[in-house]
Amino acid sequence: MSNQPHNGYGPYDPYEPRGTYGPYEQQGVQPQAQQGYDDAYQQQPYEPYAQPQQSQHQQPQHPGAWPSAQGQQGYAQADPVTQTWQTPTWDTQTWQQPLAPQSADQGYAASWADGAPGGGAGGAQQAPDPAAGATGPAVPSVTTVPAAPERQLTAAEKAKAEGRPQILAPGFQPAVLTAVLAALLAAAAPLGQYALVVPVVLLQAVTAAGWFRLNGMWPARQGIALAFLGGLAADAGLLATDAGQAPTVLMGTLGVWVLLTLMLQLRSGAGADERLYGLMVAGASAALTVIAAGHLAAVSSASADAVVIGAVGVAVAALARALPLPSFVSPVVALIAAAGSGVATGRMTDFGTSGALLALAAGACALIGLRAASYDYPSRFVHMTAGVALPLAAAAPAVYVLGRALG
């Protein structure tokens, strides 16, 4: 049988012997298709395991594209390298093997290594971005959020940011209130215990509330009420007993109220640390409130003049401490002013020049109370309660003891 293709000019003879030629062969002319097959057969011999050569100019296709009209390219994958298929030919009689699949990271790495972001060895260009305009690629818009207005830091916040302690004295307004309350004590002292009990009760109420707020416990209604009741119990005991029993009344009231405070904290459902802290604050508040009754005890045991001298000395020291002076000068000026007020009021009473010592001691206790109210980062409420009451409450023991000693 002849391997030559059948021509269309004569009947097909299956028994045509080898060596016979058709009309074209006889004239020495071969058909164009047959010539192409022969040339391909002579140039590329049959190699069944030969690997096809990869085209150097493969255009990237959109993922999911159908084969082209020539049928030479298959589906394009998501990676930059396009897999191709080739139909079998007469010269090779083999299928072209697909390229090894590559991951997206490998494909992008290979494309960047070739020097082109989207192309391979041939530097194929990427598909145009529909978002790009005529002048160039589109720049992503950035939404600008207006900055919030800066809030001015307080003195406490600045000190905390700088890492330094912030000690703020109560100031001039609490000092004026302290002076007003001291004037009420000085005015009611010559009138007797029953007249003096009114400003003393007011002092005890402000002391109980201010101490709890000073220690960050607010509202502590039960603790404040218990401490205030302790002060009232001390006042009632001083009014009901003789003048010589004042120390016993004050110490007994303080002991009973410490036990009541302990029982109150044991009933609390808070943790052990919180209950211990609450016990210390409540106990200190009750002690200060009971001690504030020392002004009332001084009137009954010593004389009313001691209360007058001590109250004036506290008022002058608080006002002098509130003056805008350097921190190391202000306490000295306050003590000198308190001693001077004691000299003036002592001459008006039976104490004489010894009143300077009493006023000086009361002024020193007032400065201690002001320093306790000037703890780190205090609030205005602390200044208007503890800053007002602590100078007078702290001066009560000195007024009682020195009043009896110097009177």
In degrees and rounded to multiples of 5, residue 348 shows phi and psi of -85, -10
Closest Cα to residue 108, out of 80, 82, 78, 128?
A: 80
Residue 337, pLDDT above cutoff 90: yes
Q: How far apart are CA 5 and CA 204, in angstroms?
A: 127
Task: State the CB neighbour count (10 A cutoff) for residue 172.
Answer: 14
Name the amino acid, one letter, at 352: G
DSSP string, 258-306: HHHHHHHHHT--S-HHHHHHHHHHHHHHHHHHHHTTHHHHHHHHS-HHH
Count Cα neighbours of 221 within 13 Å in the Cβ-side half-sphere: 0
Q: Which residue has the tokens 């097909």?
A: 12
pLDDT tens for 1-49 read 445 554 444 554 554 444 444 444 444 444 454 555 455 545 555 555 5
The whole-number pLDDT of residue 106 equals 52
Which has more pLDDT, 144 or 199?
Answer: 199
Confidence at 154, pLDDT banded by 50, 70, 90: low
For residue 87, the one-letter residue type is T
Residue 269, pLDDT > 90, answer: no
C-alpha span between 151 and 163 (Å, rounded): 20
Which of the two residues, 158 and 257, has the higher pLDDT score? 257
How far is it, in rounded angstroms, from Cα 82 to Cα 101? 9
Give pLDDT, residue 301: 76
Asked if 376 and 167 touch (Cβ cutoff 8 Å), the reply is: yes
Q: Is the peptide bond before 17 cis (omega within 30 degrees of 0)?
A: no
How far, rounded to the nearest angstrom, does the alpha carbon of residue 362 sit from its chain's CA centroid? Answer: 44
Per-residue CA distances from 220 to 214, 259, 338 (Å): 12, 18, 35
DSSP letter assigned to residue 68: -
Task: List the structure tokens of 235.
Answer: 């006042």
What percent of the chain is predicted at pLDDT more than 70?
61
- The whole-number average pLDDT for the span 69-73 is 45
Confidence of residue 71 (pLDDT cuts 50, 70, 90): very low
The pLDDT score that the predictor gives to residue 27 is 47
For residue 156, pLDDT beyond 50? yes
Across the chain, mean pLDDT equals 74
Distance from C-alpha of 316 to C-alpha of 325, rounded to nearest angstrom: 15
Q: Are 249 and 231 in contact (CB under 8 A)?
A: no
Residues 6+ apart with CB under 8 A from 20: 2
Residue of higher predicted confidence among 96 and 247: 247
pLDDT digits (tens, 9 = 90+) for 298-309: 987 768 899 999
CB atoms within 10 A of CB 123: 13
Give the model's confidence band at 135: pLDDT under 50 very low, under 70 low, under 90 confident, else very high. Answer: low
User: Which range, of 127-136, 146-155, 360-369, averages the lowest pLDDT?
Assistant: 127-136
